[in-house]
Amino acid sequence: MTITAQDILHARILIVDDQESNVLLLLEMLRNVGYTDVSSTMDPHTVAGMHRRTPFDLILLDLQMPGMDGFQVMEGLKANLIDDYIPVLVITAQPGHKLRALQSGAKDFVSKPFDMLEVRTRIHNLIEVRLLHQRLANMNHALELQVRERTAELRESEARYRALTELATDWYWEQDKDGRFTKVSGPVLEMLGMRVDPLVDEPMPSQDDGWEPVQRAALQSRIASRTPFLDVLLEHRSPDNVVKRYRVSGTPMFDGACTFIGYRGFGVEILS
């Protein structure tokens, strides 16, 4: 994220001063150094609108102006923020105004009468910081877009996975972190004699609900350790003493903060 000398010299600069001599002096200094995009105004009322239409990388702002002083100009800029950075270098002949200017949002200050080497140095440094801030903001925006796109892709992939799983297996299920069913698809009632609707209100299974105790205990241990499992054998005995066998697979689910939120998986009846 290197800022070159040419990047700095092509930065957009606005000079705001009600004294034409000061404007001309700063214009000449900046152009002699090599800055290529320098504008000026002696009307402080126009600054916020100019910055809103075509944002500047640096605003050289005189504090002592009739009708509207530099502090009021900064308030206008804050009221019309384009981003969270106000690129203002204040110009003042009053030492007591420096702290107030910084508290009002200015990034730095220069004193009158001008020390031209100091002015050039502070301008260069502030523009470099501003351009770095912009590039970082652009990178963050691009990263945010990538995250959104990736999240959408993952959701689409998950939806395809669920659809294919539901087509290829006898039933698909999801449970929350407390073990309660939150999603079930397939002929669960007919196959298992289990009714899980409404899902979130379904009580935990009792210990005599027909599942083979040792097998179920082993599965519950896998779930408690939050590890995936594949083709775990489960036997279920119905109230009329019919035994059916199933292969069950599942994997833990985590949210974006890597917090465990439950399990999802599928089951297939083993036909004799």
Looking at mean pLDDT, say which of 60-69, 89-98, 193-202 comes out highest: 60-69
Higher pLDDT pick, 191 / 97: 97
**Structure tokens given for 216:** 């179920």
pLDDT band at 192 (very low <50, low <70, confident <90, very high): low
Question: How far is it, in rounded angstroms, from Cα 139 to Cα 143?
Answer: 6
Question: How far is it, in rounded angstroms, from Cα 258 to Cα 90?
Answer: 47
Mean pLDDT in residue range 192-212: 54
pLDDT at 2 over 50: yes
Question: 57-79: per-residue pLDDT in tens?
Answer: 999 999 989 889 999 999 998 88
pLDDT at 166 over 70: no
Would you list the DSSP string of the chain?
-PPPHHHHHTSEEEEE-S-HHHHHHHHHHHHHHT--EEEEES-GGGHHHHHHHS--SEEEEES--SSS-HHHHHHHHHHT-SSS---EEEEES-TTHHHHHHHTT-SEEEESSP-HHHHHHHHHHHHHHHHHHHHHHHHHHHHHHHHHHHHHHHHHHHHHHHHHHHHHSSEEEEEETTS-EEEEESSHHHHH-----SGGGPPPPPTTSSB-HHHHHHHHHHHHTT--EEEEEEEEE-TTS-EEEEEEEEEEEE-TT--EEEEEEEEEEE--
Higher pLDDT pick, 97 / 162: 97
Percent of the chain with pLDDT over 90: 32
Q: Would you say 22 and 65 are in contact if contact means Cβ atoms under 8 Å apart?
A: no
Higher pLDDT pick, 260 / 96: 260
Mean pLDDT in residue range 1-11: 88
- When the pLDDT of each residue in the chain is averaged and rounded to a whole number, the result is 83
Among candidates 257, 264, 8, 252, which has minimal Cα distance to 127?
A: 8
> What's residue 56's pLDDT?
93
> What's residue 143's pLDDT?
84
- Segment among 61-75, 126-140, 154-168, 206-220 with least mean pLDDT: 154-168
CATH for the 169-270 domain, from 2.160.20.10, 3.30.450.20, 3.20.20.10, 3.40.50.300: 3.30.450.20
pLDDT band at 202 (very low <50, low <70, confident <90, very high): very low
> What's residue 203's pLDDT?
44
Q: Would you say 74 and 61 are in contact if contact means Cβ atoms under 8 Å apart?
A: yes
Question: 211-250: per-residue pLDDT in tens?
Answer: 888 988 888 888 888 889 888 888 888 888 888 888 888 8
Q: Most distant CA pair in the chain: distance in Å? A: 103
pLDDT at 23 over 60: yes
pLDDT band at 210 (very low <50, low <70, confident <90, very high): confident
Residue 58 phi, psi (nearest 5): -155, 135
Residue 251 phi, psi (nearest 5): -145, 145
CATH architecture type of domain 5-142: 3-Layer(aba) Sandwich (3.40)
Higher pLDDT pick, 110 / 2: 110
User: What are the extents of the domains in the chain?
Assistant: 5-142, 169-270
